[in-house]
Structure 1
Amino acid sequence: MSTITEVSDSDDEPASGELAGSARPEPRSAQEIFEDIRALAQSDGALHEISSLLYRDWIVTVDLHEAKVVDDPEARWSTSKLNKNELLLLLGLMVQAPTNSTHSVITLNEGFIASADSLLREFHDRLIKDCRSTFDPETGMFTDLPNSVGLVAREAIYYGPEGFYAHQFVNFTRQRYRQDMLWMLRNVGASIRPMLDIAKFVVDRVNAQMTGVGHVRSNGESVSKEDFTNSLIVSKEDIEDRFGARADAFLSRFASPAFDTNHSFDSPFAVNAVALAPLIDLGDFVYVPLQYRLYESIYESPFFWMMADKDYASTHAKNRGDFLEQSASQLLTKVFGKGNVFENVTIERNRRERAGEIDVLVVYGEFVLVAQAKSKRVTLKARAGDAAALTNDFAGAIQDPYEQALDCIDLIRSGGECVSPDGRRIELHKHPRFFPMVILSDTFPASTTLSRTMLKRESGTAPVIWDLGVLDAVTRVLSTPVELLYFLKCRSDVFDKIFSDSEYNYLGYHLGSKLALPDEADFMILERDFATVVDDYMIASDLGLSVSRPVGILERVEIPVISDLLRELKSADPLLASVVIDLYGFSGPALEQLSSAITRIREEIRTTRKEIKALSIPTESGGITYAVVLRRDKKAAEMAEMLGRKHKYDTKSDRWYVILDCVGTDNPVDGLLPLVSTWVEDEEVAKASRDLGSMFKSTFEQPNRRRPEGGHPDSGNS
């Protein structure tokens, strides 16, 4: 029987994918619900009601001194709040109204918000109901209906979390369209930088106005719906005075008329013009309902403009690919250093035949990261639930680059050489440990969820599938090579065992508890509230606040001997990163037991004046011999190495690491030796191992790394 652990820091309504409130009436067809939402969205004063919804669901209160969100956690992560797609649905239908009465008229319609909540909940229930028709509860498997995966994906995509934070759009947009400046000037009337400047001006103005409303409310004063609306509008004249003709170019691309438009938006998954141009033109003012979507549209929309120009499409496609590879390389370089990260690496057979290409290659000691970058978006057909379109999109964005990464790994394992663009041959470890990565320029909605069921993969290391937003956050939070490598390993290990809908949930959980499946569970579900620590940090960055990165449990823990050892190893030769990765895999009690054992051995060496006493323990990748010696000399080092080689051979391990600790120094580590080679049966080595075992009168046993047990010590005076 499987044990499921659902982990959450707060209680809330059922998350996306659950049919909440089974006692509710059977949901109608999606189109029927859509028509009722249309009627509601076009009612008199609807815009002011939507302003109230925005203040209810999209306001985040940040303590500027503490640089953290202070909203109630239960409300903050509530799944009852309307998400971006639901609000865009209301706005997209609102602007279809034949007159301006949606904003020119103010009504006392107290039922709007309740009706909107009810209709949108029914719409979600409809999508979930359609998903359930593809699931066989007796077998626990999806049926073989032609569109099963499409219907599941439709719900997951529509209600899935975002991949980027607002400030990331600003930073990446500048880089993304830098090489397209001339085309933008000729065809749009402004390059990307002034467009971002205008957006920032608009957003800053609205934020200041909303802050003012917040102060009024905090003083206990009442605020009307029209006050909410007034805080969300900016004068066109102010924008034009500041930016001149570029303001017209900006508004023509990112503002939608307030009424009698967007008529082709005739079904829930059709093109919604307001999603592309999220400002609402009210005549002398623009209404700014979703700041996030404004920045997101500036990041996404120019791609469509340029690809529509057949003469320029290929140029922009190259620019877009270069941007992604360079951005991924720069982010990984911040962690691993310039000398360890390479772009556009080719793999050659026999120094002649070009057999493969890696977009970004990271080499750090034994570890090799093979990252394939892809600029593939999810099409509207896939978002609407078309299984064939989804399968095609998933293949182009995730499956194909993943397989390319695996092919490159296989080529390297079979003797292929990695060559940088300047012709230099990149030296890899003889026994590398690989991590495949898929890096996306745009969020592939629900990729975390869909990859578990759609990704066809080989046994062994699972990939990480991150867009630039996630990669940026991960490299900021896990800013050292060892921390990032260990998270990559953990994320790969739990690929099929710990479920969640966002990569930020995995990262947040890892910072607080270390990402691993508890012994008592077969798989686990992480809710969105685990992203809180990451969310606080990134939202502070959105606001331009200076804030320290969150420190994970592995950095906070203080265990005598072990903590000093880990700090020393993390800054040591990259070849020894594996030792830290292996030790990180131990439980807290196991590390404390190891600490006590080393302390006792140190005291014994000081008291008895023995030449050496060593503790050998197995790890996930092989094992470690920790040798405490009386003197730091050649003889001690040779004896420690002999003990390490003995246990490497006896356990048939490919990897074993020897740590030398001399009681006569204050150093945490006095010597380090990686013994990495493919295990091969050898009678001479076996005899030497038996002889050494007899000399030291020791045995070796397999401990449980999650329990406070350890291997037996080797000791002697020779």
Structure 2
Amino acid sequence: MSEGLSTEQELFNELEMLCKSPGYFHVIAYFCFRDNTIKYVEGEMGVDDVMQQFSMERLVRTEISTLIGLACKGDLDMTHPGPKKIQEYIDLTQSLLDDLHKSMMPPMHEIFHRPETGEATYNPFSRGKLLRESIFYGGESAYNFQYRDLSIRKYQNDNIWFVENKGYSIEQAEKIVSGLLLLQNDKISDLIPSQLDNLSPEAWTMLPAFIFSIGELTDKSGVDFETTKKLVESFVCPSGINKNNFSALDDFNPLNAYPIIRVNESEYLLFQNYSLMEALYETPFFWFNADENYKVKARENRGIFTEDFAAERLKLVFGEDRVFTNVNLYKGKNIAGEIDVLVVFSNRAIVLQAKSKKLTIAARKGNDNSLQDDFKNAVQSAYDQAFICSKLLNDSDCRLVDSSGEELVFNRDFEEIYPFCVVSDHYPALGFQARQFLKYQITQEIKPPFVMDVFLLDVMSEMLHSPLYFLSYINRRVEYSERILSNHELTVLSYHLKQNLWVDNDISMIQLGDDICADLDLAMLTRRNGAPGKATPEGILTKYKNTTYGHLIAEISNLDDAATIDLGFMLLSLSGDTIEQINDGIDHLCRLYMEDGRSHDLTLCIDEGKTGLTIHCNNDTRNLSGPRLQNHCNKRKYASRANTWFGLCIDPLNKKIKFGIELNFIWAKSDEMDELTKNMPAGQNLKDGIKINFKTKTRYGEKVGRNDLCPCGSGVKYKKCCI
């Protein structure tokens, strides 16, 4: 730490004095340009360009926001102090911030040398003093454009209040903040060459790029001058808020809620456009709360938004007819539970409970009771409701009635039920807190909970655009919940899109670095902000898109059939080498059929024989090929001593799925099956790097006549079956 300083508060006070120095605004402008701007040459933006945002030297936005809040406690002195002084300020700022970061961590003896350390339930990471660091430095859970776009959805029912009390609609607000983003991008792009050409290096500064006038913003946004000014002024810190109350790192920083700074009568300053978009999403909460006549209605609207938005995004994945809202579960005449959003797809279900709760200032300061109370209100209560409702789903005595009063009737024999807990706002270190605090149960059908905010659900539904991909991901994500460490859930999703999320059984824990998220960041920037980059990360969604395997996955995604869906989950869990072998195998079977017009099959043993897949390729009718495939799979499953086995019948002319079957029961020894399988050739045991062997296998034994019953056990004559 800096000489003579030892406590967090002393470091904070020294940082405040530095931020009030003459000309310090030029230093903040430098940090904002260096750490919040993606620089790239003309043409397509690449992942390497986004990787700049993951530099270890970069200040996170909460640190820059702290500098801005402290600087605004002093006079708006924007005189240029000269390059030498600016460099001194930069070096001292980074040194103080490093020391401040270290000071937030309690001493090791305070963590591990406590009376309760020896207790089995002791978890040092559930203590507020340790969580403070992850809350402050955990970063953002949302992209800036999500705050902008979701604000329209969040406040659509409050639009009349905005017009009457603020002088603009939420749609106009979105246009203005979007225009300001474009304006600042233009200013940054124009400033660098103009400085190099027209100014002495002694006068170089990035500060002008962050200063704007109402006239400039009006021209860029297309919204009239008066309305634009009202929006800008509503995000300037009101005179009634005392900026000096920001006197500790965890205090309320008014420049987060009101990020626009008035420079003079005609000019304004905005350092972080992200802060303005976040404020558009968050700050109206305080305005509504101050209106005694409206705050109750506003809270109702917040709850409606969370549920409606979650349902809207899930409908994009599963379709309108598989997503239900406000489902009451009746035991007799009494309501035993209520599901905010229910998704039913084949023998899978998602039970989503939504909450609109924030992390309080007391919790951010590390107060243990406040942290746990906030978590209980925001997450634990949502999970408890979700678990009760999940148990009732498989209860045949329980009736389900949707928001329109219609009773829901569908197959209730769910194999997997996923409880979702969704919060509507940025909840710092949400995943880390869930790991420490959440108490949950699992059953054979009810899986571990998935805790998230609306922003993650938005991205998941954007990238995992089919039921099969979506459910396959959440299955593995929740099963690995205790074995994956990451600062952000988006990082885990990005890893999955690139590599196919898989953790070997002999690995107890993996940690994912933040930079893994660069591919997903670029894709979302391209999709939502029009960046010139790739809209889909290279990986599971692109590599096999136009292959036989890719077409099978696409077909299965649209089939609401339990056996075929289970097969799809198994296929999505395979390694790249195994997928290549399946591609080659099916293509080869189809070629053989085109040559001789006969039925051909391939059996693959997967996961060291724990499961397997038999593929039949023929043009027979289902009543002929169905029993044949069923019997073949039964024998293969028995011979491999597997508990599950899949069968797939492929049309050799177009490689489309005709039907699929699934055998799922515990293996048991049988003398009859021993006799039936004694001469059965071994299936292909798939291992990475080993190609499928298509050499003909000869079966030795008693000769079977054309009109004899087929030895496969189908009950059909040999000439119409396995011949």
Query: How high is the TM-score relative to the length of structure 1?
Result: 0.84
Alignment partner of 2:274 out of 270, 287, 292: 292
Per-residue Cα deviation, 1:627-680 (whole angstroms, up to 9, x for no partner): 425551333321212333556688898865321236xx3232453233477x48
Q: How far did residue 265 of structure 1 move?
A: 1.2
Q: 1:523 pairs with 509, 516, 530, which one?
A: 509
- Evaluate the alpha carbon distance shift between residue 148 and residue 186 of structure 1 in structure 2; reply closer, same or farther with a 3 A threshold: same
Report how far residue 624 of structure 1 moved.
4.8
Whether the 8 Å CA contact 2:183–2:217 is kept in 1: the answer is no
CA distance in 1, matches of 2:462, 2:163: 34
Q: Does 1:369 align with 2:347?
A: no
Residue aligned with 1:183, SS: helix
Deviations along 1:504-541, one digit per CA (max 9) or x if unpaired, are 21122112211112466321111011001111122334
* Secondary structure of the structure 2 residue equivalent to 1:632: coil
Please name the residue that 2:715 is paired with: none
CA shift for structure 1 position 615: 2.1
Whether the 8 Å contact between 2:111 and 2:124 is mirrored in structure 1 is no
Secondary structure of the residue aligned to 2:321 is helix
463-472 vs 59-68, which moves further: 59-68
Find the counterpart in structure 1 of residue 10 from structure 2: 32
CA distances 1:160-199 after superposition (whole Å, capped 9, x unpaired): 1211112211211011111112222333333323333332
Using the alignment, how far apart are the partners of 1:566 and 1:146 within structure 2? 44
- Residues 195, 564 of structure 1: CA spacing in aligned structure 2 closer, same or farther, 3 A cutoff? closer
Aligned ranges 1:218-229 → 2 under 5 Å: 227-229=205-207
Deviates more, 1:27-36 or 1:705-714: 705-714
- Provide the residue aligned with 1:128 in structure 2: 105
Give the Cα separation in 2 of the matches to 1:700 and 1:239.
68
Return the offset for 1:309.
2.5
Q: Which residue of 476, 486, 489 corresponds with 1:490?
A: 476
SS of residue paired to 2:49 = coil
Q: Which residue of 2 aligns with 1:667?
A: 654
* Structure 2 gap ranges (5+): 700-710, 713-717
Corresponding position of 1:267: 248
**Is 2:144 aligned against 1:169?**
no
Q: CA separation in 2, counterparts of 1:669 and 1:91?
A: 60
SS of 1:554's equivalent? coil
1:427 matched residue in structure 2: 410
Equivalent residue of 2:374, what SS? helix
The within-5 A match list for 1:9-20 is none
Give the letter for the 1:425 counterpart.
L
Say whether 1:357 aligns with 2:365.
no
Match of residue 359, structure 2, among 375, 378, 391: 378
8 Å Cα contact 1:27/1:125 also seen in 2: no
Match of 1:452 in 2: 435
Asked if structure 1 preserves the Cα contact closer than 8 Å seen for 2:390 and 2:417, the reply is yes
The answer to whether the 8 A contact 1:438-1:463 is kept is: yes
- Matches of 1:49 and 1:141, distance apart in 2: 49
The aligned runs of 1:2-81 (5 Å cut-off) are 28-62=6-40, 65-68=43-46, 71=49, 73=51, 75-81=52-58
620-629 or 381-390, larger mean C-alpha shift: 620-629
Q: Separation in 2 of the partners of 1:561 and 1:246?
A: 56
Name the structure 2 match of 1:329.
311
Range that drifts further, 320-329 or 647-656:
647-656
Aligned counterpart, 1:311: 293
Q: What is the Cα deviation at residue 561 of structure 1? A: 5.3
Larger CA deviation: 336-345 vs 511-520: 511-520
Q: 1:554-573 counterparts in 2 under 5 A?
A: 554-558=540-544, 562-573=549-560
Residues 502 and 247 of structure 1, relative CA distance in 2, 3 Å threshold: same
1:438 touches 1:465 (CA, 8 Å); kept in 2?
yes
Per-residue Cα deviation, 1:254-289 (whole angstroms, up to 9, x for no partner): 113899950111211111111111111111311111
Residue 150 of structure 1 corresponds to 128
Unaligned runs of 5+ in 1: 1-22
Q: CA, structure 1 residues 652+354, in 2 after alignment: closer, same or farther (shift >3 Å)?
A: farther
Say yes or no: does 1:644 pair with 2:622: no
Q: 1:72–1:552: structure 2 CA closer, same or farther, 3 Å change rule?
A: closer
Deviation at 1:567, TM superposition (A): 4.0
- The alignment covers a number of residue pairs equal to 685
Which residue pairs with 1:92 in the alignment?
69
Secondary structure of 2:540's match?
helix
The residue that corresponds to 1:103 in the other structure is 78
- CA contact 1:497–1:523 (8 Å) conserved in 2: yes
Offset at 1:62?
Answer: 4.3
Deviates more, 1:201-210 or 1:143-152: 143-152
CA distance in 2, matches of 1:60, 1:148: 36
Instruction: Give how far 1:445 is off.
Output: 1.1
CA offset at residue 448 of structure 1? 2.0
Deviation at 1:693, TM superposition (A): 3.5
SS of the residue corresponding to residue 436 of structure 1 reads strand
Higher RCO (CA 8 Å, separation ≥ 6 residues) = 1
Match of 1:586 among 568, 574, 594: 574
State the percentage of identical aligned residues: 23
Alpha-carbon contact 1:130-1:151 (below 8 Å) kept: no
Given the superposition, is the C-alpha separation of residues 25 and 112 from structure 1 closer, same or farther in structure 2, using an over 3 Å criterion?
Answer: closer
Question: Per-residue CA shift, 1:459-480, capped at 9, x if unaligned?
Answer: 4623322222222222222222
How many angstroms apart in 2 are the aligned matches of 1:376 and 1:588? 42
Shift of 1:378: 0.8
Matched residue, 2:326: 344
Give the drift of 1:34: 0.9
Whether the 8 Å CA contact 2:593–2:600 is kept in 1: the answer is yes
Residues 232, 289 of structure 1: 8 Å contact kept:
yes
TM-score with structure 2 setting the length: 0.84
Alpha-carbon distance in structure 2 between the residues aligned to 1:490 and 1:505: 15
Within 5 Å, give how 1:546-695 maps onto structure 2: 549-558=535-544, 562-575=549-562, 576-594=564-582, 613=601, 615=603, 617=605, 623-628=611-616, 632-633=620-621, 634-645=623-634, 656-661=645-650, 665-675=652-662, 679=665, 689=673, 692-693=676-677
Report the counterpart of residue 456 of structure 2 in structure 1: 470
Q: More displaced, 596-605 or 665-674?
A: 596-605
Give the SS at the match of 2:38. Answer: coil
Change (3 A) 1:464 1:611: same
1:116 aligned residue (69, 82, 93):
93
Aligned-residue offset at 1:328: 1.1
The one-letter code matched in structure 2 to 1:170 is: R
Structure 2 distance, partners of 1:235, 1:156, is 37
Map Cα deviations across residues 487-506 of structure 1 (whole Å, 9 max, x no partner): 11221222111211011211
Deviates more, 1:247-256 or 1:397-406: 247-256
Tell me what 2:490 maps to.
Answer: 504
Evaluate the alpha carbon distance shift between residue 339 and residue 215 of structure 1 in structure 2; reply closer, same or farther with a 3 A threshold. farther
Q: Say if 2:611 and 2:644, in contact at 8 Å, map to a contact too.
A: yes
Alignment CA distance shift 1:68-1:78 (3 Å): same
Q: Distance in 1 between matches of 2:193 and 2:239?
A: 29
Distance 2:552 2:176 in 1: 51
Partner of 1:13: none
Report the equivalent of 1:20. Answer: none
Change (3 A) 1:433 1:707: farther
Asked if structure 2 preserves the Cα contact closer than 8 Å seen for 1:206 and 1:288, the reply is no
* Kept after mapping to 1: 8 A contact 2:590/2:653: no
Structure 1 CA distance for aligned equivalents of residues 123 and 556 of structure 2: 53
Retained in 1: the 8 A contact 2:440–2:449?
no
Q: Residue 708 of structure 2 corresponds to which residue in structure 1?
A: none
Match of 1:249 among 203, 226, 230: 230
3-state secondary structure, aligned to 1:553: coil
SS at 2:403's partner residue? coil
